[in-house]
Amino acid sequence: MERERLIKRTRRKSLVIKESGRSTDFITPSFGHGCLFNCTYCYMKRNKHEGLSVAENIDEILRKVDKHCQTEGVEKPNQTHPYYTTYDIGCNEDLALHLKYYDWHKMFDFFKNHPKAMASFATKYVNEDLLEYNPQGKVRIRFSLMPQKYSSILEPKTTPIDLRIKAIDRFITAGYDVHINFSPVIVEDDWLIEYGELFRQVQGIVDNKDKVKCEVIFLTHNENKHKYNLDKNLPGEDMLWKPEIQEPKISQYGGDNLRYRYDIKSGYIKEWKKLHRQIIPWNTIRYIF
C-alpha cells in the first residue's frame, strides 16, 4: 500500500519534554512525527512534507514522562486542568488518524493510571476504535473545527465538520475529556458568516454543554510552506497567504512565520469572541490568540 510506504519506525533519540503553557502544561517527546493528511496550513509539514516516523521506544518515553511529572510539576489549578499535569502526546501528528501504528492502549493506560499526569491531543479525524476504550477522563481529545467551506479546501480527506461535532457527546459518554480546538481561524471576506454557522451547528448538536471548553488559534502561515503549496499546486493558498493583512513573526522555535497584523488582529479577536458569546456562551474559551 502507498500509505504503508510512508511509515518509518524508529527509535526516538530526543527525549526532551518541552513547556507548552497554553493547550497543555508540557509536550511529550514525539510518539510520532509527520502526518498522512495533507492540510495546506499545517505547521508540522513546513519541515516534513510527507510520511510518518513512529517511535518504537514508547516505554522509554513514558518513563521519561513519569519522572518529569514527579519532579517538574506545575502549580494547580491552572487553565489547562484543575488537578492534573497535562501533556500533549500528539503535537507533531494526528494521533487519532495514525492510531493503528501504535500500542496506544499502553500509552492511554499509562495516563489513565497515573496519579498526576493527563494526556491531550488534537485531531481532525473521528476514529471509532477509540470509543472502545474508557480513559476515565484522563485523556482529552480536542476536535479541531473550522467552517466546512474552508475545511473542504484546506484540509482535504479529513472527517467532515458535522461528524466531528457529533462525535463530541459520543466521546464524552465513552469516558474522554473533550474540548473544541478552533484552529486555525481563517479570516476571509465571509468569515464571520461562516463562523456564525459553525457556532450554530455546535449549539444545535452538542448536549454536554457544561463539559466542553475550547481553545482558539488564529492562522499562522510560513513562507517555506507557502512556496511548497505553490510548487505542488495545493488549493487554498489565496486564503492563507495575505501579506496585506499579515506581518512577519519569529516562532518560539525560530521559524520565519507570518501572522495577522497585530494592529488589526485584536479587532478580529473581538469580533470572533462577540459572535461566539452570542451563539455558544457556554463554550468557555480557555485561551485565544
Which tens digit of pLDDT belongs to each residue from 26-73? 999 999 999 999 999 998 878 787 889 999 999 999 999 999 999 987
Long-range contacts of 251-258 (CB under 8 A, 24+ apart): 251/220, 255/43, 255/46, 255/222, 256/222, 256/223, 256/224, 257/220, 257/221, 257/222, 257/223, 258/220, 258/221, 258/222, 258/223
pTM of the model: 0.95
CA contacts within 13 A on the Cβ side of 27 = 17
* pLDDT of 263 higher than 90: yes
CA 169, chain centre distance (Å): 18
CA contacts within 13 A on the Cβ side of 247 = 6
CB of 93 closer than 8 Å to CB of 86? no
How far, in Å, CA of 102 to CA of 12, rounded? Answer: 14
- Tell me the chain's radius of gyration from C-alpha atoms: 18
Which of helix, strand or coil describes residue 133?
A: coil
CA contacts within 13 A on the Cβ side of 220 = 15
When pLDDT is cut at 50, 70 and 90, the band that residue 81 belongs to is very high
Mean per-residue pLDDT, 187-199: 98
Q: In whole angstroms, how far apart are CA 85 and each of 17, 94, 123, 132, 197? A: 13, 21, 20, 25, 35
Alpha helices by DSSP H, listed for 6-103, are: 58-71
- Cell 510520511 found at: 51
Residues 144-190 pLDDT 10s: 999 999 999 999 999 999 999 999 999 999 999 999 999 999 999 99
CB count within 10 Å of CB 74 equals 15
Domain boundaries, position 254? 2-288
| Torsion angle of C-alpha atoms 155, 277, 187, 20, degrees rounded to 10 | -60
Q: What local confidence, expressed as pLDDT, does residue 186 receive?
A: 98
Non-local (6+) Cβ contacts of 204 within 8 A are: none
- Cell 526532551 found at: 16
Q: What local confidence, expressed as pLDDT, does residue 46 receive?
A: 80
CB of 47 closer than 8 Å to CB of 77? no
Q: Where are the beta strands (DSSP E) in 49-199?
A: 52-55, 85-88, 117-123, 139-145, 177-185
Going by DSSP bridges, is the β-strand pair 85-88/52-55 parallel, antiparallel, or unpaired? Answer: unpaired
Q: What local confidence, expressed as pLDDT, does residue 14 receive?
A: 87
How far, in Å, CA of 194 to CA of 170, rounded? Answer: 25
Residues 85-104 pLDDT 10s: 999 999 999 999 999 999 99
Residue 276, domain CATH: 3.80.30.30
Mean per-residue pLDDT, 281-287: 98
* pLDDT of 1 higher than 60: no
Non-local (6+) Cβ contacts of 154 within 8 A are: 39, 40, 41, 146, 186, 235, 236, 239, 240
Q: Which residues pair with 144 in a beta bridge?
A: 181
How many structural domains compose the chain?
A: 1
Preceding peptide of 77 cis, ω within 30°: yes
| Percent of the chain's residues with pLDDT above 70 | 97
